[in-house]
Structure 1
């Protein structure tokens, strides 16, 4: 179970992941799809914290510098995210070790361990173990307190992951063979005619021999024919045929046709795109795509991207919180990915506005009992208001706080309203406060 995928029982996980990584660099469909997922999965991220105000401030200060240096080969935390997106496409899982210093006062960085070289088993106590194979004479046991294996796809009871692009290999292999055949047909189409040449056979005397029985006669005749053919081929591109006196040329026109080839290639392309979890219009195939269809299909791509974000967020939070614990900082970090700018932003904004109006109705009908539902949908922590920025005090959250002395709401010096518009900093439509005197 740990050495091969079910669809490739005679092959190894290590070789197949190597093939997929090669295709990420060399095949236009695979590389293009990977670039799409990089853009959709990682349009940017923020790190949020829970804990006391002092601990949150300390955690933010600590991680601001640390996240920029933990993955120097890829450009810090953001580069690590891009690396792990590609790993989930080509390898079984997000596989990262977060080594600590000798005194265990912090995490030194992030080390990517090829997930296809990880063998998962169990020790006598029933605890899951992770061994890295293929790097020495013996497997290397990885400590689960500093190592996390986070797969995107698993099947049955097998804890080993499955690469997202695994199912595309058969169609990609067929695509390679079809491309080679198309190139061969194109080369043949350059030959507009088949030329037959009849050469006069030289006599033994012409070749300086005594008679036909001379053993060199056959050899010299063959050499004569090769020299004549080279001369004819050398001038063929210029439209000139030259040969010895008595040479006869026969020209037969050749007809070529690519009828049906486009349908075969197109059908295989659809199989490739299906295996890569992409759609035709993202690969430039626009002839049958409508906006209505795109609105139905594109959210599926975004949903897959959300699944990838969840796995990578789990990996990053493992390393971030390990570092905070070793530093003695009592705060918990959460990774929140930004949403990629959508081509259907207007429709999504109207949908968001409708949901917020529905929440307002729910609040008016059910009061505080409805707050939990809003918090769950918007992913708000219970102490979210404690970490709001200072300017948030100017927002009108639905009513002024009564004065302790009079019990009545104070007269505001200015009226605060909010408008629903596009926020360029958040790159989405949101409620933006505006102050009117």
Structure 2
């Protein structure tokens, strides 16, 4: 059990001398293409705190981008990983399989929304999960095209870059990309308000707009899958208007199109439900998961209807490390912790705390255009005062100011003007509120 004190503390300027020395080593040794959000190097992390090599302690409102949902170095996960490492670290499930992989698949089939019999396949990353879901959908439907949405983020492989909307930094200079990828308009209530109240609040209306584009530009007879994040991640934590997701699903079911939910960032209690689809009773054909699945161990999965998941031929899916036994042990401990400690409800409590504090801040400051999100996946969109014009410069300065004051926050959004909050569900209320108080003070100073 970690003894890391759960308090914010600045021992040095940021970065401290040890972090600075590591920054210099990184420049000399690591590809320039690998960027860093913060100029500090981690030594330890536990609960809601990350401690750097200089002894500075930061309030963690990022969870390694929604990965350490149950808290960094969670005791149950540490114990499970240590036990598995001592037994064996790898055999390759496709060569000599092991129970852990099967047990994770059973757990996913049980907890993911979907009627009837389900199957799962395990991989290493969110990108791999998405790519394999599309392989499965194409095999099942025998159709080539895939639709994703404005502001979407689905990964950094060639196919998932094509599915991702934002060019810089994810796609710029890396093309050409995979063909037969098309884009439809998303329901984005804050910005759709410019087109009238109906478009902003009526998800079915927004879905009609998307379906019209899909039918004209692709055609259902050519379309294998519609791929969507139930709440967009990198795109700006955009929550579609109520009714948008169910209407899309209904159209897919009517047209033999596989509905794929990318729950890589939203899954595993993050949004106040085990999966974000559940907020509107949506049961996708396939669900892609990763990030929060194993508390930091690299693992991802595709779970879905048995008839679709079984469409690929034997050995058509797989990979050397997919479903690594150590990662599987971590996943089983993570899922057990979420269920046994009531962390879905804890995410809802965090939502109430955060929306109350950020809502009061918004009422005092017209640079905060929108506060949105679900559970412990909350964002605020920053704009020029009195307008809806994105303010990316203010967002960058606010992030840096929080970092210098000992709070880890992340930005996102197509326009670079959204601050996103992904606190671990293990964080204490007082630590969470202190982090938001720091944010408020930095915003005031700016």
Does TM, normalized by the shorter one, top 0.5? no
Structure number with higher relative contact order (C-alpha < 8 Å, ≥ 6 residues apart): 2
Give the TM-score taking structure 2 as reference length: 0.18
Give the TM-score taking structure 1 as reference length: 0.18
Higher share of residues assigned helix: 1
